[in-house]
Structure 1
Amino acid sequence: MKLLTLRTPNGTTPTQAVRQDGETLTEIDGYASVGELLKNPEWKAVAAAATGATHAYDGADLAAVVPAPGKIICVGHNYRNHIKEMGREVPQYPTLFAKYAESLIGPNDDLALPAESESVDWEAELAVIIGKPGRRISEADAGDHIAGYAVLNDVSMRDYQFRTIQWLQGKTWENSTPFGPALVTTDEFTAGPLMTSAVDGEIMQSTPTGDVVFTPEFLVHYISTIITLNPGDVIATGTPGGVGHARDPQRYLAEGQILLTTIEGLGTLTNKVVKEV
């Protein structure tokens, strides 16, 4: 099943949770977003049974699939080829940092290019979306707590990221993180398919989503040891090799470019880089 958050400027709410069936989006009445839907323990049955108003998928104005997660926890140095290109050792434990909801944008929204940064870089990522709350979740049980997966690009302002040993200031700029297009439930997707990013049609990253040091299940286990994971929380599981910062010469996003981020089976984010006003 595919669940999305549709912007509805003429509706009773600014956004609406919908189920995608082919080219048709069906409203899930009573839920303004996928994040709100996931708070219902019966979310999957509610979504499957929805018979609300319908919309065409083509041309739909989609918000970030979970527009306001309680937590966005990101993982660094998880793909082996990215660890190598950044000159790091394979980590014993996950490198964790946070984003905030204000950084999120929809799958087709403009990506803000801030005047303050001269090194805005791409980072294709597989996002895990939590569907069941838990603390100290075992790795064996972690899959039961995952609602599904989506595509995310952890666009990074490298000059700010490396000002200090803490990365947050380069990772959570407003309107910088495309996220979507849909939550694809775990019965329809398992980590492993190819993930790519492209700038103006040139492939920059291309790696299977299973080529990681720490699996989604391990990350759910590890992070939930530290803090309760709640429905709608997001774990961005890291980026593979091919980032602009590691290239020689280094390459970064520029105004007017189109950034595509794709994971087979999950969909594509298509974001134009626009100078922030």
Structure 2
Amino acid sequence: MDTLLQPGVLALGTVSAAGRPFPALVVDDRVLDLSFVAPSVRAVLQQWETAYPLLTTLAEDPTQAWQPLEGLTVHAPVEPGQIFQCGANYRTHVIDLAIAHRAADDPRPIDEHRAEIGAMMDRRAESGTPYLFLGLPSAVTGPYDDVVLPPYSDQHDWELELAAVIGKPAFRVDRADALDHVAGYTIVNDLTTRDLVFRRDMPEIGTDWFRAKNAPGFLPTGPWLVPAPLFGAPDDVRITLRLNGEPMQDESTKDMIFGVAALVAAASQITTLNPGDLVLTGSPAGNGAHWGRLLRAGDVMDGTITGLGAQRTRCVSLGGTDA
């Protein structure tokens, strides 16, 4: 199994052998069972300030009981207690969505309309606040698990995103200190049922993210959690999703309106972020709604983010078939 990590870079993951999941230190194509450190990756994160130096030491110790990654089942790297999701956080994506939903009788030329929306996004970046909401941990699944498409809609869509993983409690922190509370980063695919995003029966209440995003398995996560010092700055990495081999999303995090520090800081003004929590950073352009091509049984999504590995998920119908 190709980790798609830089040679020698350590990562955390949750893997299993013979049905027993365990927290793992991952280096190249080998893993070390970390059960002697803590029972889960979330528990490792709860002691992150002391655990991370230990992990760097273990990663360079050939006398440890390393085992091949090959043959092990890879799960989501961490079981989060809270999932903070972010909407409308990529400039190009927001512009594309607004154009796609503009009224048929809108008299403005499209270029003029795009410029107006772009100016609004610039104002948001300068003086606005992120649009945050909560997701359910029960939606989390592994990076290679099949995704069951619920039968109540045929408008399920992909949203590959960078996610920050909290390593130190954060409550009312400012942007300057926010990244000190991030242990590392991982990949998520924040699947969305498009026709459930807005309540047609109660349009005055706006969006309904509970119904649109929280079906079982609608948040493929991982494969790995790469520590922040090894990942580097999160503000210019490439996010790429391919559907059946065809590129759909291919964007840099430079297009984010609010960076990771702004998102963590904003969420922490309302509640405490705890070790293991996920902070999703929003979807870049290139969703199925943009392409006019939504998910069907049999589709295969391949997602990569620079330095974080790759995930592959296959879509199946409720009965477990791909056709």
TM interval, shorter chain, is over 0.9
Larger CA deviation: 132-141 vs 82-91: 82-91
Greater shift after overlay, 265-274 or 35-44?
35-44
Q: Deviations over 1:155-192 (max 9, x none)?
A: 11112222352322101111121100111111111211
Match among 34, 37, 45 for residue 41 of structure 2: 34
1:4 and 1:62 in contact (8 A); partners too: yes
Q: How many residues align?
A: 271
Give the match for residue 114 of structure 2.
Answer: none
SS in 2 for 1:98: strand
Instruction: State the Cα RMSD in Å.
Output: 1.6
Q: Which runs of 5+ in 2 are unaligned?
A: 1-9, 99-116, 200-205
Structure-1 residue corresponding to 2:172: 136
**Which segment drifts farther, 83-92 or 205-214?**
83-92
Q: Which amino acid aligns with 1:124?
A: L
Letter in 2 for 1:29: S
Taking the TM superposition and a 5 Å limit, the aligned residue runs for 1:135-154 are 135-154=171-190
Corresponding position of 2:107: none
1:80 aligns with 2:91: yes
- Please give the secondary structure, in 2, of the residue aligned with 1:62: strand
Residue in 2 aligned with 1:202? 246
Of the structure 1 ranges 104-113 and 121-130, higher mean CA displacement relative to structure 2 is found in: 104-113
Match of 1:103 in 2: 139
Q: Cα offset for 1:7? A: 2.1
Helix, strand or coil: the match of 1:182? coil
Q: Percent identity?
A: 34
**Code of the aligned partner of 2:148:** A
| Offset of residue 264 of structure 1 | 1.1
Alignment of 1:1-277 (within 5 A): 1-10=10-19, 14-30=20-36, 31-41=38-48, 42-50=50-58, 53-66=65-78, 68-87=79-98, 89-90=120-121, 91=124, 92-163=128-199, 164-189=206-231, 190-191=233-234, 192-247=236-291, 250-277=292-319
Q: Which amino acid aligns with 2:67?
A: H
Shift of 1:59: 3.8
Q: Is the 8 A contact 2:17 2:72 kept in 1?
A: no
Regions of 4+ moved over 4 Å = 49-52
Q: CA deviation at 1:225?
A: 0.8
Distance 1:235 1:110 in 2: 23
* Structure ID, larger Rg: 2
Kindly provide the CA deviation profile for residues 75-101 of structure 1, in whole angstroms up to 9, marking residues without a partner as x.
Answer: 001111111011165242211121111
* CA–CA separation in structure 1 for the residues paired with 2:312 and 2:302: 5
Q: Deviations over 1:138-167 (max 9, x none)?
A: 211111110000010001111222235232
Contact 2:89/2:258 (<8 A) preserved: yes
Query: How far apart, in 2, do the equivalents of 1:25 and 1:15 lie?
Result: 13
Query: What TM-score does the superposition give when structure 1 sets the normalisation length?
Result: 0.93
Whether the 8 Å contact between 1:29 and 1:52 is mirrored in structure 2 is: no
